[in-house]
Structure 1
Amino acid sequence: MGDPGEPPEGAPEGGSGSDDEFRSVVFDESFVRAARITELSANERLGGAAQAIRHKAGGRLFGTVPRQALTLLLLIVLAFGAAVYFGVTAPLRDAGGVGGTELTTELTVLTPATGSVPAADPSSPFASLPGATGYADGAAGFGLPTVRDATAHFSQAQVSTALDTVGRFLAASELAPAVLVQGQTAPVRLLLAPDEQGQFDQSLTAPLDDQHHSATGWMVRFDPMKIALATDTVKVAGGVTVSELDPGTLQITSDHTLVYALRPAGAVTNGPVSLYSVRRELTFDLNTADLASGQLDLVNSAEQAGPSACGAAQAEYLQPLPVGAAGPAGGQPVAVNPADHAQPAWQSCAVLATPTGG
């Protein structure tokens, strides 16, 4: 037998016979496992395999790819599959529903303080309003800031644009005769951001007293079949404040008392006239997209309105009591003055105090 250190056929011709020249070739375990081919087993050779070697499974595609890379690839595939699955199976937003912003409304009904609704002078219906309360005609009473200061994240021009948009919404929803007594709604809807227009439409097609779908939460409106304006003038007192809800959203709050001179629909011009008071405390949100489009989100509406009957349904229209109609007999709730902005706007049914209740 030959030397165990020599090849089976002996040292190659011309070679040194020493294994020194092979010492630089090291076949460690990682090298062997990475090999793309391997010898057939004894059973495979006895079975008459056509080839003496076989390729390792997956060797052509992944044999040289590090294990860490394969693991990372697998995680990416799983993450992509999960994203596709949840994207397809996630519930779709109701086409008729609302988006990320939703209006919440509250209405406090005010009943007559004197037990019946007093009549106003048709020639000067607002003569009974106290002069010290600061009422002005229409938009002049909105109290919009004349100096539009910048905020931490909004420029002076952006604040001015936001206030102008709010002013247009207040004029459309509180002063426009077409909205007040003619049943029109488009002037208000056009100023709402798209994410609230679905809720607005639902409030008109199916008004509900559920704090979210009351048409009278969006605007002051009276039934055209019952109520007419004795004069287009509306007396207004109150103010507007500006703040930042977050770095991307301006929040504007308006708090106004509005006094309307009303008469029955179809009545002659010298028919009975009554005054109807509405206090509206509204909260608006405007982001940069709203500023660019001249629209807004109305997020909260708290109202006090009267004289009305406490049990009257007022989700679709406000329901003023006519002149001479009696208020509740006995057990009346506490008096509320809609011109007193120091008190919270939302309360239960209450008695209408001065200046318009008698």
Structure 2
Amino acid sequence: MGDPREPPEGTPDGGSGNEDEYRSVVFDESFVRAARIQELSAIERLGGHHPRAVRARIGFGPLGSLPRQAVALLLLVAMAFAAAVYFGVSSPRRLAAAPTGNQLTVSMLALSPSSAVTPVADFRNPFAALPAGYADGPAGFGVPAAAATAHFTKIEVTRALEVAEHYLTVADLSPAVLTQGETAEVRALLTPGEQAQYDESMNNPQDDQHHAATGWVVRFDPGQVALATDVVKVTGVMAFAEADSGTLQVTTDHTFVYALRAAGTENPLVVSLFSVRRDLRMEFDRTDLGAGRLRLVDAAEQSGPTSCSAQLADHLQPVLAAKAPGPAPAAPSPVDPADHTHPAWQLCGTLR
């Protein structure tokens, strides 16, 4: 018998009798998907709406051979990526990179006494001679009522005012900072971008407008000055506004009055008053608000009575009253604008 795989009429002349001779004309699936025309389905042909039996395929290049689900998925991914890029670039609330470097700028004015410094009349009530308007500690901050701005909510403004008030309380009222050299609590309220500048200011104070320890805080040399009372009288105001769409700004302008005595003596009879005016500008972005931190940008300070020659970068240097009236201090020296041996920002005035 013949081979059952052979056709009944026998193997055609010149043929092999198997499918090898057709292998060169068999089209795989990728070839079919890449075709530029497509045969209509049976349903489409029966509908009679197509005059031709084939349709042209829309060319998608390499994507034309992909399943429809894969093409749809790629389109969705592309659209999502484009939307993310658009909103990331155009959104006014995007977070900027944290600023670094010397951000705080400090200016200081020493106020020289116009006459000999005398002690207060009643050491038990050292602030009795102050004019009306001063309050004890934070009660004198004059914190405004919070309100929404164009780009910040009322809750965000409230948070900024709370952080600013906390900073003033720690930096200007805390006995640990005033006379005990404490620095960590103030540091914790600053953004990471300012902490290096703060550390350098505390470890190596310099009168260079950026690294004065007394620009960040009020502090006295504990070897020379002690607090006669922990109460500090305060008067002043606070305000808030937008610096830009992503930055909220809080400004503060306060006068602090401290009751001081010489260190190393328990004699309560000789108490002096020392005044410090601090005009500060603080800034917050949304990262700062979430972390409860601030950037201290500007600090302008007047302090007295002090000597015009006093070095104020490390500690404020009060002129304290003595048991017996001392000589009248020298008047501030005249300033020669052509003398470049002294920095232009070193100023001295007369305390009224």
CA distance in 2, matches of 1:315, 1:330: 22
Q: Deviation of residue 347 (structure 1)?
A: 8.5
Given the superposition, is the C-alpha separation of residues 162 and 278 from structure 1 closer, same or farther in structure 2, using an over 3 Å criterion? same
CA distance in 2, matches of 1:200, 1:103: 9
Aligned counterpart, 2:14: none
Confirm or deny that 1:351 pairs with 2:347: no
Aligned counterpart, 2:149: 151
Stretch deviating more after TM superposition (318-327 or 273-282):
318-327
CA distance in 2, matches of 1:262, 1:286: 34
Q: Secondary structure at the match of 1:280?
A: strand
Q: Secondary structure at the match of 2:234?
A: strand
The amino acid across from 1:257 in the alignment is: T
Q: Secondary structure at the match of 1:349?
A: strand
CA distance in 1, matches of 2:206, 2:347: 18
Q: Deviation of residue 328 (structure 1)?
A: 3.5
Q: Deviation of residue 266 (structure 1)?
A: 2.0
CA distance in 2, matches of 1:235, 1:136: 5
Q: Deviation of residue 100 (structure 1)?
A: 5.1
CA distance in 2, matches of 1:262, 1:331: 24
Percent sequence identity over matched residues?
51
- Within 5 A, what are the aligned runs for 1:1-358? 99=100, 102-114=103-115, 116-120=116-120, 121-131=122-132, 134-145=133-144, 147-324=145-322, 326=327, 328-330=329-331, 348-353=347-352
The amino acid across from 1:110 in the alignment is: L
Aligned counterpart, 1:63: none
Map Cα deviations across residues 262-310 of structure 1 (whole Å, 9 max, x no partner).
0111211524110000000000010000000000000000000000000
Q: Secondary structure at the match of 1:171?
A: helix
The amino acid across from 1:119 in the alignment is: P
CA distance in 2, matches of 1:275, 1:204: 25
Q: Deviation of residue 329 (structure 1)?
A: 2.6
CA distance in 1, matches of 2:184, 2:126: 29
The amino acid across from 1:243 in the alignment is: A
Aligned counterpart, 1:67: none
**Aligned Cα root-mean-square deviation (Å):** 1.8
Map Cα deviations across residues 176-222 of structure 1 (whole Å, 9 max, x no partner).
00000111011111100000000000001110000000000000000
Given the superposition, is the C-alpha separation of residues 153 and 276 from structure 1 closer, same or farther in structure 2, using an over 3 Å criterion? same
Map Cα deviations across residues 100-140 of structure 1 (whole Å, 9 max, x no partner).
561000110001122x1121121110011112xx1000000
CA contact (8 A) 2:110 2:303 kept: yes
Map Cα deviations across residues 80-105 of structure 1 (whole Å, 9 max, x no partner).
xxxxxxxxxxxxxxxxxx81561000
The amino acid across from 1:111 in the alignment is: S
User: TM-score if structure 1 supplies the norm length?
Assistant: 0.65
CA contact (8 A) 1:101 1:297 kept: no
Unmatched runs of 5 consecutive residues or more in structure 2: 1-98, 335-344
The amino acid across from 1:113 in the alignment is: S
CA contact (8 A) 1:137 1:235 kept: yes
Map Cα deviations across residues 210-263 of structure 1 (whole Å, 9 max, x no partner).
000000000000011111100000000000010100100001100000000001
Unmatched runs of 5 consecutive residues or more in structure 1: 1-97, 334-345, 354-358
Map Cα deviations across residues 19-40 of structure 1 (whole Å, 9 max, x no partner).
xxxxxxxxxxxxxxxxxxxxxx
User: TM-score if structure 2 supplies the norm length?
Assistant: 0.66
Given the superposition, is the C-alpha separation of residues 326 and 111 from structure 1 closer, same or farther in structure 2, using an over 3 Å criterion? farther
Stretch deviating more after TM superposition (199-208 or 268-277):
268-277
The amino acid across from 2:119 in the alignment is: A
CA contact (8 A) 1:282 1:302 kept: yes
Given the superposition, is the C-alpha separation of residues 330 and 154 from structure 1 closer, same or farther in structure 2, using an over 3 Å criterion? closer
Q: Deviation of residue 348 (structure 1)?
A: 2.5
CA distance in 1, matches of 2:332, 2:112: 12
CA distance in 1, matches of 2:148, 2:267: 48
Map Cα deviations across residues 145-195 of structure 1 (whole Å, 9 max, x no partner).
1x2100000000000000000000000000000000111011111100000
How many equivalent residue pairs? 241
Q: Secondary structure at the match of 2:347?
A: coil
The amino acid across from 1:135 in the alignment is: Y
Given the superposition, is the C-alpha separation of residues 306 and 294 from structure 1 closer, same or farther in structure 2, using an over 3 Å criterion? same
